[in-house]
Structure 1
């Protein structure tokens, strides 16, 4: 009997069913969202506080995608450009996620990224970047409120 259970479990993993069933995901699925909030990009001694504007969507599997990003608040903010979009995001725990290959460019900074950025996601749809490092030596922090609220659900 134990042999049959092992074979069945191996077959499920081979076909991806076990991995899919245990994965956290963004909610709601298959929906577009916007995000707006205060962020700060720092490189060396230069720190630029901005208002970030994100547009994205979740797919039917609960994966996230940031498809557009802009920054406002000052001429330095307006000069920051998102690069290598879309950025993919995967939920990693009930309140944690990773945004993959995030990258921005600016004449005052050069290129920051691409880097994988850990974030937290609240039950009210606030995404928090907490002093996340972007290669080679940039740091991003801030809070972005999503509309509709994007949260993480457990398997």
Structure 2
């Protein structure tokens, strides 16, 4: 599901009704718990949270005109996804998340490298996402990105 939107509010307004509440709550959870410095925008046609050029002038190595991505939220055809670049780049953070997940959700974790998929809208672990968001500052993400991702 690709949604053409210029703002996160517009993105949510274009979602199917059955996804709006879950994506809105996920958005609020991320917004209210990310450390200062990240900015909300539309990034890769998803709701994105990025390190702006004002903090990291070099931008994203794949396209330096873009700010450094960190988290994205997307409504896909069969699930809602949270993409967290820190989980992809930091094995300790990934291990923590995988260990904590069953404490919040009874179903098996459905996850790719940085993509956490939620097929049941009523089973999104917002409290766990809250904790995850609080674990990395923009400065820590930049340092990790330069060490483990940027080539």
TM-score, length basis structure 2:
0.29
**Of Structure 1 and Structure 2, which has the larger fraction of its residues in strand?**
1
**Of Structure 1 and Structure 2, which has the larger fraction of its residues in helix?**
2
TM-score, length basis structure 1:
0.28
Structure with max Cα Rg: 1
